[in-house]
Amino acid sequence: MVDDAQRAGGGDGKADRQHCDPLVPSSPANARDERLFIGAMSGTSADGVDAALVAVGGFGRIDSAAPPNYTCRLLRHVHVPYDDWLRNAVCTMRQNGGSDLRTLARVTRDASLCYAKAVHELVAAEGLASVEISAIAAHGQTIFHAPPCTMQLLDPSLLAAETECSVVSDFRRADCAAGGQGAPLVPFADYILFRDPVKSRVLLNIGGIANVTYLPPGGGPANVIAFDTGPGNCVSDHLMRLYDPQGPGFDRNGEIAKNGQAIYPLMSLMLSDPYFQASPPKSTDGPAMIQLFAKAYETIGRNFPFENLMRTACLLSATTIADAIRRFWPFPDELIVSGGGTKNATLMCLLKQPLGDMPVRTSDELGVPSDAKEAMAFALLGAATIDCVPGNIPTATGAKKAVVLGSVTPKP
């Protein structure tokens, strides 16, 4: 992670937060005292909840004159998997574009209880009391994202009741209301954790969807560019669920894709979609990319070996990521990768090939575990909400202005 000198910037933020009356206590008198936040995230792969207990220090405001001076120390990370019913229900709901109301309500409740379980594991492992947690920042389970419409399932009142903590949730809608895409939101944390005074960096997260954040050397938040490049693991995971419904739902280490051959006519059809040529800001969702793949496959009208489809899915992700890095900013000094895609050796190999000698590192090498990064990001966003600090970056989301994100549910 960056050192204190790189985190410096901004005052104590008192003038900035006078207009806001948070529902929970604001930052302490000494704005650099650390507070404990729990960030919790469930991705589009629907594999479960990642939760991170972090100590957040500092206070800041997202603007070019006073960049945020938050610091973030990871204390513990846990992953709580969804049970089979919940995982299958989420995947089916997302793929079909809907569900009956009873299933929708049950998914919301079960996902919320899984979030609560993750919080309980963190608190118990650290021997903490709920009163020591400033807030839980919970993203919820995305089931639909097509800006300006977005939907994340979570019952914050249930989560607050189960954990006896305040909950910050529903992070994306405020940005959408301000004319933005509601995504990506992780650039707030990317800027805080990874900016460098002399190096230009691209932060790449490979989840269901792949997204990138460009941090120019010594730049402020107004210089950050971020967007979704296209599919990360979503197409590959979808194919695995079709091939082996009772299996893990992913290609472990990319072993199946490793033995396949790319289907270039299928690649060409996919890459002709306008999304990949559009300039940022832009965002997409897993079902849209899966449907694009299925439509291209139907157009070709041929059957292919399964391993070839898997290889093509990996190459599609790697190609669209690399193309985005080449097209939209000067070639960066280094690429820092996080997310589940880092565990797919075939995907990582295909990604590195077109980037030449550009250093490719994982976020783990800079002190931010790949599996915990998004949860840490939402902990920082939760701290910003509690402090009444805008958490979106308009150059990343396309919003008309920076806005405070999320809704606060006080602890019972």
CATH of the domain at 302: 3.30.420.40
Helix/strand/coil for 370: helix
Give phi and psi for 360, each to the nearest 5.
-115, 115
Residue 100, marked binder = no
CB atoms within 10 A of CB 308: 17
Question: Are both 77 and 156 inside the same structural domain?
Answer: yes
129 and 214: one domain? no
The count of C-alpha atoms lying within 13 angstroms of the C-alpha of 181, restricted to the half-sphere facing its C-beta, is 19
pLDDT of residue 98: 86
Check pLDDT > 90 for residue 329: no
> Are 142 and 261 part of one and the same domain?
no
Could you give the dihedral angle defined by the CA atoms of residues 46, 102, 94 and 246, in that order, rounded to the nearest 10 degrees?
A: 50
Q: Is 46 annotated as a binding residue?
A: yes
The per-residue pLDDT for range 40-92, each reduced to its tens digit, is: 999 888 889 999 999 999 875 545 455 668 999 999 999 999 999 999 999 99
Q: How many domains does the chain have?
A: 2
Do 378 and 339 lie in one domain? The reply is no
Asked if residue 49 belongs to a known ligand binding site, the reply is: yes
* 151 shares a domain with 218: no
Q: Which domain holds residue 52?
A: 4-181+372-409
Give the model's pLDDT for residue 67. 62
395 is in an annotated binding site: no
47 appears as a binding residue in the annotation: yes
Shared-domain flag, residues 97 and 196? no
Q: Are residues 197 and 150 in the same domain?
A: no
Q: Are residues 336 and 384 in the same domain?
A: no
Do 172 and 192 lie in one domain? The reply is no
Q: What is the pLDDT of residues 155-198, one digit of tens each?
A: 999 999 999 999 999 999 999 999 999 999 999 999 999 999 99
Question: Is 137 known to sit in a ligand binding site?
Answer: no
- Is 357 in the same domain as 381? no
Q: Let me know whether 56 and 85 are in one domain.
A: yes
**pTM over cut 0.75:** yes
